[in-house]
Amino acid sequence: MNIELPLDGNQRSQLRPVSKALFHSEYALEAFLLMAREPRFFKGQVANAAGCAPNFAASFLQRLEGEQLIERLPTEDGQRRHYFRKVNSPVWDALVQLADSLLQQPQEAQVSRLPQRPS
């Protein structure tokens, strides 16, 4: 399984409805994918990968930190970004497997019908 982020439009159309149904956010599953595969990440990186606004990414990271799914890394001198890392949990593998299985499903072709021409 090698899901490249950011996802393309077709992949997003497959994941976002499920993400919205499960997490009440169409961006959450994409954000989880980034966090699952990166050793460390920051707010702007999450926003860029998921295609969401930075303020959504910030509140999302804050909620995950509060639930102890991620932890803030110590800052180094001169560092302005706040980096996080995931905490060991089976949740990460499960979310990656979910996304992978959704992306493996064949998509029904979406064909637009042309308007009927007057006879």
| Residue ranges per structural domain of the chain | 9-74+81-104
pLDDT band at 5 (very low <50, low <70, confident <90, very high): confident
- Note whether 52 and 32 are within 8 A (CB): no
The pLDDT score that the predictor gives to residue 106 is 76
List the CATH code of the domain at 9-74+81-104.
1.10.10.10
Looking at the DSSP assignment, which residues form a beta bridge with residue 70?
A: 86
The pLDDT score that the predictor gives to residue 107 is 63
Looking at the DSSP assignment, which residues form a beta bridge with residue 72?
A: 84
End-to-end CA distance of the chain: 52
Is pLDDT at 111 greater than 70 in this prediction? no
Neighbour order of strands in the sheet with 41-42: 41-42, 83-86, 70-72
- CA 63 – CA 9 distance, rounded (Å): 27
Closest CA to 65 of 93, 51, 86, 49: 86
The answer, as to whether pTM is greater than 0.85, is: no
pLDDT band at 110 (very low <50, low <70, confident <90, very high): low
- pLDDT tens per residue across span 47-86: 999 999 999 999 999 999 999 999 999 988 888 899 999 9
Helices and strands (H, E) in the chain, number of each type:
5, 3
Is pLDDT at 96 greater than 80 in this prediction? yes
Task: Report in angstroms the alpha-carbon separations of 30 from 44, 84, 89, 97, 113.
Answer: 14, 16, 18, 13, 31
Closest CA to 35 of 10, 8, 15, 64: 64
The pLDDT score that the predictor gives to residue 112 is 62
